[in-house]
Structures are given as C-alpha cells and as structure tokens.
C-alpha cells in the first residue's frame, strides 16, 4: 500500500511518516516507481509508534519500545522502567502546570478586566516575588 493509505489507517500524517523514515524509525520498501510500499507489518509498527507518541513517549523511547516489542526475549522490566520514568516525568509536568494554573487563576480572578489600566496581573508579574 502507498503512503496515503498507511497514513489513513494509522492516523499518522504522511509528512510525519516520511519524517519517521528519515530518522530511521521505519524502513518501508520501495516500488519500481520509487514510491514507498507499506506492508502490514509496516502499518502495525507505524500504528504502534503513533499510539506510543500519543502517550507522550519521545521518539527515542519509541525507538526502544519498538525494538522491545519486536524482541521475543525482552524482559518486561525494561519496558516497565521506561513507562515508569515517563510517568514520573508526566507527573512532574502536571505538578508544574498545576502550580502555574493556580497562580494564573488567582490573578485572573483579581483583575477587573475593564477599560481601566489598573491590573493585578501586570502588577504581580512586574514585581519581584518574595
């Protein structure tokens, strides 16, 4: 199958598929016309990558996960470690965002949002924090 069909089946944009080939994540065959030819296994792999990316794994993580996925002699501990590290990173990100969110929410609530220049948001950003 050609790139468009692979793209539609996996919900990975064609541009992105080409990019994944560029960085060696997938290596589809080529037809006599130079077109990429995607096998079922290519499509599966692409779907796997797409779902791993949707879970926020980095490309490098995806590379590792794919190779573990394809390795019959993998140890699930290796997979779990990657997932746990990622989970920790996500928790950290959520915590950071949450803190920002609280500050911002407070500022927004304190700002009149009218035609006058007085603004607690700017005042707060403008002065050094304790």
Q: What whole-number distance in Å separates Cα of residue 78 and Cα of residue 85?
A: 11
Q: Which does 33 bind (CB under 5 to 8 A by kind): DNA, its own copies, none?
A: DNA
Nearer to its own copies, 60 or 84 (CB): 84
The CB density around residue 91, as the number of other CB atoms within 10 Å, is: 10
Check residue 24 and report its DSSP letter.
T
Q: What whole-number distance in Å separates Cα of residue 83 and Cα of residue 22?
A: 25
Residue 63 tokens read as 């590379």
Shortest Cβ distance from residue 107 to DNA (Å)?
19
Residue 5 tokens read as 């069909």
Beta bridge partners of 37: 29
Mask for 51-90, x = binds DNA (CB under 7 A): --x----xxx------------------------------
Contact (CB, 8 A) for 21 and 36: yes
Please, which of residues 21-80 interact with its own copies by CB under 8 A?
44, 47-48, 51-52, 54-56, 65, 68-69, 71-77, 79-80
Shortest Cβ distance from residue 19 to its own copies (Å)?
20
Residue 118 tokens read as 């007085």
Report the interface residues with its own copies, using CB under 8 A.
44, 47-48, 51-52, 54-56, 65, 68-69, 71-77, 79-81, 83-84, 86-87, 90-91, 93-94, 97-98, 100-101, 103-105, 107-108, 111-119, 121-122, 125-126, 128-129
């Amino acid at each position: 199958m050609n790139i468009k069909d692979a793209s539609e089946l996996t919900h990975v944009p064609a541009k992105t598929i080409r990019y994944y080939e560029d960085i060696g994540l997938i290596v589809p065959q080529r037809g006599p016309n130079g077109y990429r030819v995607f096998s079922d296994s290519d499509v599966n792999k692409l779907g796997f990558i797409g779902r791993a990316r949707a879970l926020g794994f980095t490309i490098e993580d995806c590379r590792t996960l794919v190779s573990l996925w394809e390795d019959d002699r993998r140890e699930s501990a290796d997979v779990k470690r990657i997932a746990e590290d990622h989970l920790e990173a996500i928790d950290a990100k959520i915590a950071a965002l949450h803190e920002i969110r609280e500050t911002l929410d407070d500022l927004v609530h304190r700002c009149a949002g009218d035609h006058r220049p007085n603004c607690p948001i700017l005042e707060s950003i403008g002065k050094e924090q304790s």
